[in-house]
Structures are given as structure tokens and as C-alpha cells.
Amino acid sequence: MAQIVIKNLRKEFGAFTAVQSSSFTIEDGEFFMLLGPSGCGKTTTLRMIAGLELPTAGEIYINGTEVSQKPASKRDIAFVFQMFALYPHMNVRKNISYPLVSQGMPRDQVRAKVDEVAKILGITALLDKPVGGLSGGDRQRVALGRAVVRDPACFLMDEPLGALDAEFREHMAQELRALHDRMHATTVYVTHDQLEAMQMGDKIVVMNHGVVEQFGRPQEIYDWPATTFVATFIGSPAMNLLPFEGMVGHGATSVMLAGTEVQIPKMISGSDGTLVLGVRPEHVHLDDAAAYRGRIMAVEYLGTTQIVTLDTPLGLVKARLSSNKMVTVGETVGLRFDARSISLFGSDGRALISTANHGVLHHG
Amino acid sequence: MSYSITEPSNRQKWFAGILVVGYALLTLLPLAWIIATGFKTPADAIAYPPKVIFSPSLEGYVNLFTSRSRVTPEDLAALGPPTTWYDAIVRQYDMVINGPSRYGERFMNSVIIGFGSTFLSVFLGTIAAYAFSRFKVPLKDDLLFFILSTRMMPPIAVAIPIFLMYRQLGLSDTHLGMILLYTAVNLSLSVWLLKGFIDEIPIEYEEAALIDGYTRFQAFYKVVLPQAATGIASTAIFCLIFSWNEYAFAVLLTSGTAQTAPPFIPTIIGSGGKDWPAVAAGATLFLLPIMIFTILLRKHLLRGITFGAVRK
């Protein structure tokens, strides 16, 4: 089990920079998510940790040892590929044994170890089958078995659920998390699915264009996004972003939105120019007494909640309301935002520090 | 895509069947004629109109494998009765067997040179194709084009330079010389074919092996090679067919020690009249190995040809 420290990691492919100076720390036993849209550099980062790509600059420490220039086979890590990459010319048992055979472990010991792992993963009955005929979920289990069997320092997983169909994904996600809770092995998991990241991860790194946008616990990232990118990438529907011209100073507790005053958390930093107010849909309430008004454009019914889209002076706002609340399309209503949960972003897209988010945004 | 493939009508099936059978007959007829001629007597072989029904004889095969000389009837009588069945056949023509012919040696030369160059082209082709497929090779596209360009004219176009070069290097009429030559000709084919096959093997297999603690080379021979077996087999067939059947270079560059069967077979005609059955027998035996090899590997061959055409 291991702690992984990434320091100023950088990777260039010719003129293209895939990863620009990333730094973060993965604590021992953490289930760590690398999240971002495709092409953001998350897979490249993972492959550098694995040793399948060598970084252009920067350091990677696994348990205090600098490994960034070591070959993959010397790093004691296990990697689960999106397409599973099971050796097609071997049966299940041989696939799982393969990493042990390379270490020169005696045959009876290999056998015992494989049997044990197969039992944990519930694939004992498949051991003598060829991998070709297995279902997606079983292939995934075999791939996990091959990773688990050697007790590596950490697990690296590249969208391991990406090749599974939707209903099975949910199930495998739980299985994976349960396996992690049982083994307490450091796991680095790449995904572009923010729900998966929130659901499974102890910590999340959000990347975009090769840059680490934010790093923290799922709830911190959800509640207090560090940038407008994180605000829109995480959450469905995304955080409402309302751009406005104005200024906030140190100690401010309200901003003027289209001529109406809106309460915000007490600011620690200030900015002016084009600012952006961010509020999650569940923190938008319909209140006839509120001064900021909008017209109801559409209603999506989602069972216990409904998503109401409102046209306001500063743009469309989505509100997540309880389904029993009666709303009529075309009606003009007042919008009240939860003052404690509002984020403000400066013109550079970075969150301004307030008393509410400074605890989250000041540790990483 | 939403179109349906309808079952062909009976008339269409008949038409297709006749076309296929007709074409098969057309291509197989010369082959059948050669095999038949091998079992005819010289008189039957040149009979006009040609004989389709004939009484089979092994004369052609006896003549193929022996060298004989004519003796006077008195000497023949003095020899006593023939001791073997092939002696008997030969003596009908007032001849005696002096010893074995060169056909066996030439056939062995074909085996050594054909299989030797096939092995070498496939071996070199596989490692070159792997490098082109997996590594950043400077000027990769230019190199691949250059390799392919050696196929843009018939190999025989460079026959004279090669002839002069081989004479200088002492490679004329040597096994090594012929193996190197056929390898050089086949290599472009094998690099291109095998690159296609190796490109189709997902790189994740090797990466998985690297992570599982194997070196790059171990990953190559334990994971990539078994995956590429089909491609290697079909490439080997194509290379073998070329080097086995090659005639022009063999005529030009070999005359004795390293002469292969193709230039040797026609020379049988010269020894003692137009011995068509012996020539046909030589050709028949020469066809066999490649036929067997191809039939054994035909499953791979078919997959090899269609490989990559359809995504799994």
C-alpha cells in the first residue's frame, strides 16, 4: 500500500502539451479519481504514474521513491485497462496467474493465490474457460483478478467501467468500491463521468486542458468549485452561472444583479469587471417576495424532483424543486438563492475567496 | 444501415454455380493434364488426337529419377534378366540405368532455398513490422514507401546488376546467395503484410504484460507473437510460393550446386528425345509440397487475406 506524490508533472507530445505541471498527493488507501473531459490529460497522467509514458518533466513518488523514469515492471503497480486487455490466447486462470509467473513464484503457490482471488471475485467457475466467450462484466472481474492477485502497491484504473453497458456499470461500480474497502489499496481511477467520480471517489482531481482545476473531496468540489469549468462540469444539471458587471470588495455580503440586491457569503478577496455568480439548481427557490425575477420556460419532471428552467435578466437559470411544487410555464416568479451556498467567480474564471469556501480552496 | 439481403433465386444460384465450376475447370485443367501426362508413356504423351484415356505407366517417374544410357542389343542380352521393375521399364528401350538423376538434389536445393528464405523474410519482416507499428521511427512513412518501392518494377529488371554483383561477391550458384536474394525480394511484402497484422493487435496487451512485470522483448514474444500467428502463417505462404516458383533468377544465377528445381525440370527434355512424361512427373512432384503447405494453412490464409477488412 502506498502514498503517491505527483510534483510538477508535465508531458509534451511534440508541440502538444498533454499535461501542464500537475501536482497533487494521493494518500495511502485512498480511492482517488482523475476526472475530466476527454483530452484533458487524465489518462496521460495515469499512464505516467504507471510507467507506460515517461514524463517530460516532474517527479512521481510512490512510497517515497522517485519512479518517474523507471520502467512499468519495476514500479509494483497494477493497471486495469478500459478494454480489459486480457491475453486472448490464454484461459482465465493463465491470465490471472501471468503477473505471478513473471515473478517466478512456485506453481502450487500461484495456484493457491489464483484460487483465493477467484473466490473473492466470484469467478471460480470461470477459471478454466477461454477469455473469448466471457461477458463484459466477467472480463472486468478477470481483469481485476489479474490486478489484485499480486498485491501491488497501488491500482491504476483507466475508465474500467467504460466498456460496460449502463445497468451493469452501476453494479460493477459498487463491486469495485466494496473490493477497495476490503483491501484498502491505494487506487487511482480515471473517468470522464462526474457521477461515477462523486459516487466512488474519496478524493477527486478535476483536470481540463492538461491543467489541474481542483483537487479535493467530492462534496467540497461540488459545493465550492474552484473555477467556472468545475462548476459546470460537475453536477447535473450544472451550476447556474450568471455573468454580471460589477465589483465586490473585501467584506462584501451582497452583489447587485440587474438592479436587485442578492446576498452572498462574506467575501475575503475582491474583484471587479465581469464577474460570475454561481448557484446550484437545488439552491434556487421560487419566492414571490424575491426581487430577482424570471419567467418559467420549461419544466422537466424527474420523479421526486423537477427541473424548472427560468429566463432571467442575466440568462437562463435552472432550479431543482420538489415535484409537489406547482409551477406553470409562462408565469413570472421571483427567485431566491441560498445566500450561504453562492460562489462568485472573477473575470479569470477562478472562484473568489469568501468565508464559505476559503477552507476548501486554501488547502490545495 | 438498413437493407436486407434477399435469398438468391434458384436461377441465380444455378448461374453462380456454373460460373464457379466453369472457372475451376478452366484453371484446374492444365494442372490435371500435367499430372496425367506424368503417368503416360512418351508415345501416349505426344499422340494426336491427345489421349484422355490411357494405360498408366511409371516410365516418366523412372526417367525423372534416373540417368540412363543406350546399349547395343547384344550387350543388353549379356546383362541377364532385369532385377527390378524399373530396370524392366528402361530395358524396353535398349537402355540401362547408370545411376540416380540430379532431380533429388535440385529438389532439395529448392527446399533449402525456399524454406530458408521464407523463414528469413518472415523473421526479419516480423521484427521490422513490429518496430514500424509500435515505435517512433524517424522518417517512418518514407522508409515504408521506400520498402514498398522495391516492388514497383519486376525484380528481374535488376537481374544484370545482381548477376555482376554476385559474381564479384562469390555468391553465384550458392544457397546463401539465393536465400539472400529471395529474402530481399520478399521482405517488402512481408513487412507490409505483417505491419497490417501487428497494427490490429491492441497495444494494451503489451502494456498489460509490461505492467505484469515482463520486459519489452518478453511482451513481444509471449503476447504479440501468438496474436500475430495467423498473419505470420499467411505471410509465410506468400513468401514460400514466390521463392519456390521463382524461375528467372534461378536460371541466371544458378547452374549446379545451388540450382533449384524450376530451371532444372526443363533440362530433362534434352536428355534422350522429348521426354514429356518425365518433365510432367518432375512438375507434379514439385507442385506437391506447396500444395500440402497451402492446404494445411488455408484457414489462416483465408483469414489473412480478409484480415482487417471487417472490424470485430
Over residues A173-232, the pLDDT tens digits come to: 888 888 898 888 899 999 999 989 998 999 999 999 999 999 999 999 999 999 999 999
pLDDT of residue B36: 93
Averaged pLDDT of chain A = 90
B-interface mutation test, from A52, A54, A150, A157, most B Cβ less than 10 A away? A52
Q: Which of A79, A84, A154, A159 to mutate to test the interface with B (most CBs of B within 10 A)?
A: A79
- Give me the domain span that covers residue A299: 238-361
* A28 and A119 fall within a common domain: yes
Which residues does residue A246 pair with via DSSP β-bridges, in sequence order? A273
Q: Are residues A153 and A103 in the same domain?
A: yes
B262 and B165 within one domain: yes
Amino acid sitting at position B282: G
Query: Does residue A297 sit in the same domain as residue A214?
Result: no
Q: Find out whether the peptide bond into A237 is cis, omega within 30 degrees of 0.
A: yes
Q: If pLDDT is split at 50, 70 and 90, which confidence band does A1 have? A: low
Are residues A266 and A216 part of one domain? Answer: no
Question: Residues for chain B: how many in total?
Answer: 312
- B257-278: per-residue pLDDT in tens? 889 999 998 888 765 567 889 9
What's residue B311's pLDDT?
A: 39
Closest CA of chain B from A48, distance in Å: 12
Residue B1: pLDDT over 50: no
Residues A61 and A180 occupy one common structural domain: yes
Residues of B with CB under 8 A from a CB of A: 202, 204-205, 207-215, 218, 223, 226-227
**pLDDT on residue B284:** 93
Q: How far is B40 from chain A (nearest CA, A)?
A: 51
Residue B151 above 70 pLDDT?
Answer: yes
At B187 the three-state DSSP class reads: helix
Amino acid at site B220: F
Residues of A in contact with B227 (CB under 8 A): 88-89
Q: Give residue B272's pLDDT.
A: 58
CATH number at residue B170: 1.10.3720.10
Task: Enumerate the H helices of chain B as residue ranges.
Answer: 10-37, 42-45, 59-65, 73-78, 85-91, 103-134, 140-149, 159-169, 175-200, 204-211, 216-219, 225-245, 248-253, 261-267, 276-296, 298-306
The CATH number of the domain where A113 resides is what? 3.40.50.300
Chain A residues whose CB is inside 8 A of the B218 CB are 102
Rg (alpha carbons) of chain A, rounded to whole number: 24
A76: left (phi over 0), alpha (psi -120 to 50) or beta: left
Q: How many CB pairs under 8 A join A and B?
A: 53
Q: B203 and B79: one domain? A: no
Q: What is the pTM of this model?
A: 0.78
How do residues A76-111 score in pLDDT, each as one tens digit? 899 998 888 898 888 999 999 999 998 889 999 999
A54 touches chain B (CB under 8 A): no
Chain B CA closest to residue A51: B211
Cell numbers of B305, please?
Answer: 487475406
Task: Give the one of B204, B212, B226 whose C-beta lies nearest to A102's C-beta.
Answer: B212
CB A123 within 8 A of CB A86: no
Which whole number is the average pLDDT over B129-151? 91
A364 pLDDT higher than 60: no
Tell me if A160 sits within 8 A of A139, measured CB to CB: no
As for how many domains chain B has, the answer is 2
Within this chain, do residues B62 and B206 fall inside the same structural domain, yes or no? Answer: no
| Edge-to-edge strand ranges of the sheet holding A186-191 | A77-80, A154-158, A186-191, A31-35, A203-208, A211-216
Query: With pLDDT > 90 as the criterion, what percentage of chain A qualifies?
Result: 60
**Residue A164 and residue A299 in one domain:** no
A81 vs B contacts (CB less than 8 Å): 204, 207-208
With contact defined as beta carbons under 8 Å apart, do A216 and A204 qualify?
yes
The pLDDT of residue B3:
61
In the predicted structure, residue A271 carries a pLDDT above the cut 50: yes
pLDDT tens digits along B156-177: 888 899 999 999 999 999 999 9
If one counts the domains in chain A, the total is 2
Contacts of A59 (CB under 8 A, 6+ apart): A5, A6, A7, A8, A9, A66, A68
Decide if A72 and B226 are in contact by the 8 Å CB cutoff. no
- Residues in A touching B226 (Cβ below 8 Å): 89
**Over the stretch A44-78, which tens digit does the pLDDT of each residue have?**
999 999 999 999 999 999 998 999 999 888 888 99
Which residues span the domain enclosing B157? 104-306
Judge whether B15 lies within some domain: no
Contact B37, B56 (CB under 8 A): no
* pLDDT at res. B82: 83
> Min CA distance, A282 vs chain B (Å)?
42
pLDDT digits (tens, 9 = 90+) for A290-314: 889 999 999 999 999 999 999 999 9
Q: Is the pLDDT of residue B239 over 50?
A: yes
Chain CA centroid to CA A27, Å: 16
Nearest CA in chain A to B206: A85
Within this chain, do residues B96 and B128 fall inside the same structural domain, yes or no? no
CB-based contact, A13 to chain B, within 8 Å: no
Q: Is the pLDDT of residue B305 over 70?
A: no
Residue at a domain's end among A195, A223, A251: A223
In a domain, B36, yes or no: no
Nearest-CA distance A327 → chain B (Å) = 43
**What do you get for the CA distance between the two ends of chain A, in Å?**
23
| Final residue of a structural domain among B56, B77, B101 | B101
The yes-or-no verdict on residue A257 having pLDDT over 90 is: no
Given an 8 Å threshold on Cβ–Cβ distance, is B204 in contact with A83? yes
Cα distance from A174 to chain B (closest Cα, Å)?
Answer: 24
Same domain, A120 and A36: yes
What are the tens digits of pLDDT across the range B34-75?
999 999 988 888 888 888 888 898 988 988 898 888 888 888
